[in-house]
């Protein structure tokens, strides 16, 4: 019986979809160009995909290969700065800078226990605000 209960929630998660309506949702196809310090499961040259999501000037998110930087709030120029050429997101563990013209994404994570810097070179897909892919 335990196996059935375990598989039941798994079946629902396989059909998960992102049903939010975004102002901007773009697919990111990225290559890691710099990492410091080095990680055993991620190295320069690795390719990962991800998403850029913006909703109602209240939610900003960049996710690449499981590395996420997000912030709820408005485009205040301090914690979030969204301009024609760049996006800056600062959350409780770090900050991300995204150059919209070049596709360069720099993610800096910093806590008392760790510090990690990732630099990605990304091809940015077209805006698909109603795309339900996760």
| In the predicted structure, residue 5 carries a pLDDT above the cut 70 | no
Cis peptide before 26 (omega within 30 of 0): no
Pairing verdict, β 94-99 and 67-72: unpaired
CB atoms within 10 A of CB 64: 22
Q: Is 108 left (phi over 0), alpha (psi -120 to 50) or beta?
A: beta
Is the pLDDT score of 6 beyond 60? no
Is residue 98 within 8 A of residue 120, CB to CB? The reply is no
Cα dihedral 18, 74, 80, 125, rounded to 10, equals 40
The per-residue pLDDT for 26 is 95
Contact 67, 85 (CB under 8 A): no
Whole-prediction pTM value? Answer: 0.81
pLDDT at 23 over 90: yes
Q: What is the DSSP string of 76-100?
A: -SSSEEE-SSEEEEEETTEEEEEET
Which is more confident, 96 or 38? 96
List the domain boundaries for the chain: 23-124
Question: In this model, does residue 66 exceed pLDDT 50?
Answer: yes
Distance, CA of 66 to CA of 36 (rounded, Å)? 17
Residue 16 pLDDT exceeds 80: no
Q: What single-letter DSSP state applies at residue 73?
A: S
């Amino acid at each position: 019986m335990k196996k059935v209960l375990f598989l039941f929630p798994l079946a629902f998660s396989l059909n998960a979809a992102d049903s939010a309506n975004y102002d901007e949702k773009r697919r990111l196809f990225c290559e890691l160009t710099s990492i410091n310090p080095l990680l055993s499961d991620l190295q320069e040259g690795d390719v990962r995909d991800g998403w850029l999501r913006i909703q109602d000037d209240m939610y900003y998110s960049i996710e690449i290969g499981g590395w996420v930087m997000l912030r709820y709030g408005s485009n205040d120029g301090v914690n979030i700065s969204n301009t024609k050429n760049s996006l800056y997101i600062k959350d409780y563990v770090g900050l991300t800078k995204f150059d919209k013209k070049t596709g360069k994404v720099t993610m800096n994570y910093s806590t008392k226990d760790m510090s990690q810097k990732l630099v990605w070179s990304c091809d940015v897909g077209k805006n698909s605000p109603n795309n339900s892919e996760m």
